[in-house]
Amino acid sequence: MYRYLIGFSLGIWVGTYYNCKPIINKVKDEVIKNLPKEKD
């Protein structure tokens, strides 16, 4: 459990320290664009 918490904390720290927000938004847009549309 402690390994999970350390890994999660390091991921949050790296994401904020290195300003990964533009990359995250780009990946999110590509995933949404390539996923099939939901059926009604």
Q: Is the pLDDT of residue 40 over 70?
A: no
pLDDT of residue 14: 84
Q: What is the pTM of this model?
A: 0.48
Whole-angstrom CA distances from 18 to 3, 11, 15, 27, 32 are 22, 11, 6, 16, 24
Gap between the Cα atoms of 7 and 13, Å rounded = 10
Q: Are 3 and 9 in contact (CB under 8 A)?
A: no
pLDDT digits (tens, 9 = 90+) for 4-28: 999 999 988 887 788 777 888 899 9
